[in-house]
A and B are shown apart, each in its own frame.
Chain A
Amino acid sequence: MDHPTRSPISRPPTAVERGIDRVFRFACSSFAWLTIIVMAYIVFEISWKASPAVQEYGTDFLTGRTWDPNTSEYGILPEIWGTLYSSLLALFIGSFFGIAVAVFLSEGYLGNFVFQILRLFGIQFHRFWGKLPTWSEGALKNLVELLAAIPSVVYGLWGIFVVMPMLREPCNWLHENMGWFPLFSTRYQGPGMITASFVLAIMILPTISAISRDALVAVPPKLREASYGLGATRWETILSVVLPTASGGIFGGIVLAFGRALGETMALAMLVGNMNTVDVSIFSPANTLAALLANNFSEAGSDEMKVGVLMYAGMVLMAITLVVNILGALILQRATSGLKGMR
């Protein structure tokens, strides 16, 4: 056999190449460490600034319901409640639509739809049109992902001018006819939980749909074919083969979206009503931790205690996000461990 000794693959790396490799490895690891250090510094800074407030208010801070800088009475129970409730509500709406969009974009429905339309116009298959379905799927996917590029303030304004008037009639109807049901027990006023959650759902939709679509596309075609081969319908295939296989990825997307929903600030400050109430009704105005911070931070100024309570609130928000992510990772591990063999 003829061994090409000078091939670039088989020759040993030169000193320069080794040097470049080393620099590259060093750069990567130092950036990774830098990220961790910055993160640790942020946590330290927040806890340090929060420490006077933590000492002063302790756990009462977590259970109190009043926020009154004038009497120095601080409690963030309504905000914790509002943050979790609005995020969960948004997640509920958002993941339903997000996964639906992902299925639509990954299972060839759009291609079929495009062909049906082309057929209406008498255009049968042609090499030129054959590209269209893939192309249209890509376009629609990008369009959905573009939603993530819209600034939060624009979502807030959209919520005020479009979503509020749109929700008014149906929500009032629900309240009047089903007011006995706890979720509908207060009158819809405009700003409130449902408005905020609805807009939040649309804000997290791109995260969910993009990640879910990637997960669905990654499902091996073999599985689908095998399922069809066993006589399953498309509906059965999607629900009991494709979605469970991709569930790990989909769930990851949902957890990521939940993180975003928890921390979303501007749009919520504009839409949630900023009222410190704890109410199960989805129509009642509420408050979230991020909105509380946004509304109060410019005013805190140099007052150590005021900054302290805000930092404390920020710390709580950070802790909630952390717990959610850890829980998400744990559930993910549980959920996918049984499916490992399918890959």
Chain B
Amino acid sequence: MPNTLSILGSYVALAAMMVATVGCSGGSNPDAVKLQGAGASFPALLYGAWFKSYSNEHDDVQIDYQSVGSGSGVSSVIDGTVDFGASDSAMSEEEMAKVERGVQLLPMTAGAIVIAYNLEGVDELKLSREAYAGIFLKEITKWNDPKIAATNEGVELPDQDINVIVRSDSSGTTYVFTKHLAAISEKFNSDVGVNKAPNWPVGTKSKGNEGVTTSLNQTPGSLGYVEYGFAEKTGLSMASLENKSGKFIKPTIESAQAALSAVEFPPSLIAFLPDPEGEDSWPIVTYTWIIAYKTYDDPKKMEAFKEMIKYCLTTGQESSEELGYIPLPETVTSKVTAALDNITAK
């Protein structure tokens, strides 16, 4: 018994030591301003990189970002449990009205949503609009369906079920993706509709972009929609999609930029492109927003937040491309910087 106790004691001491060291490295500056953010998983890779490098350079600011999905991001802003939120689906008028302190949406970066797949021996896949809308409507269930085969001559497609993977959480990625599908398919619009968490007729569900990427990697014969950066980072094969002008486009930073260049921002800084024009445009792109309050209780917090955003808009943009996100054009960053003036402290 004393033996057990001493072993137990040493474990407790070890645990205490670990907690102490972690605590120390995290909180070297006890006066640091702590910014708590939560929301979209789509820009999580990029935000993570930005916030980390910003915190390293600024000893007095700690930023914590939880990638919990756009839906949760918006609801935590409404509940006031975070200092800032993040969402790929921006916010609806209705949602904004619920926030007493007012909200200012700041587009921070843009990304492309791709259809990634895991199919042995198929390195190149071209999907027509009819084909990929059909897959998500459960109209096309086999890999060798004539509608897929028609655009993929010379590719050997197996007689195998398509294992569709969709998101289980409420997600801005889903919102943007369904918005696009609804724009190109009348049936999708009426049967499923545009939503952060639609009632999919098809698919097994995984949580977050991370979850979908993992499922895609683990399951041969599967197909799903993820943010470009995630697919790129894990080396998933991405399908070429037919855009509005009927051309098959490969997902790249350039094709996404081509699609985004056409957007004009209204004063609210919320704009979507469900089906962008242009010969070389990737069809599914979106801006993604950080949601700030219009008023902050603590001037120090507000100052830190604004500095952080400015950093992301300048230095931060340089690292976007590397991580698979699209840097904002100059015209947009200046608009966002100007919008920061709308944010005040009590």
Contact = CB atoms under 8 A, between A and B. Distances in A.
B216 to A, nearest CB: 10
A295 B168 contact: yes
Interface string A152-170: 0000000011001100100
Interface residues of B, number: 30
A168 B222 CA distance: 13
Interface in A109-146: none
A197 interface: no
Contact of B204 (A67, A161, A189, A302): A189
B328 interface: no
Contacts of A68: 198-199
Nearest to A191: B204
A5 interface: no
Contact of A298 (B68, B193, B219, B222): B68
Interface in B191-214: 193, 195, 197-199, 203-207, 211, 214
Contact of A189 (B75, B207, B222): B222
Interface residues of A, number: 28
A66 interface: yes
A270 B169 CA distance: 12
B204 A299 contact: no
B204 A273 contact: yes
Interface string A59-71: 0000000111111
A67 B205 CA distance: 14
Contact of B199 (A70, A161, A168, A190): A70
Contact of A191 (B79, B161, B215): B215
Contact of A69 (B69, B197, B221): B197
A269 interface: yes
Interface in B59-80: 68-69, 71-72, 75, 78-79
B218 interface: yes
Nearest to B162: A189
A279 to B, nearest CB: 13
Interface in B81-100: none
A71 B192 CA distance: 10
A273 B218 CA distance: 13
Given A66-B199, A298-B72, A269 B207 contact: yes
Given A70-B193, A301-B75, A273 B219 contact: no
Contacts of B207: 269-270, 295
A269 B168 contact: yes
B197 A70 contact: yes
Given A190-B163, A274-B168, A275-B204, A160 B218 contact: yes
A299 B196 CA distance: 10
A187 interface: yes
B170 interface: yes
Given A295-B169, A299-B169, A189 B219 contact: yes
A160 B216 CA distance: 11
Nearest to B202: A275
Interface of A: 66-71, 73, 160-161, 164-165, 168, 187, 189-192, 269-270, 273-275, 285, 295, 298-299, 301-302
Sorted from nearest, which 7 A-B pairs have the closest CB atoms? A68-B199, A274-B205, A273-B204, A190-B219, A301-B75, A189-B163, A285-B204
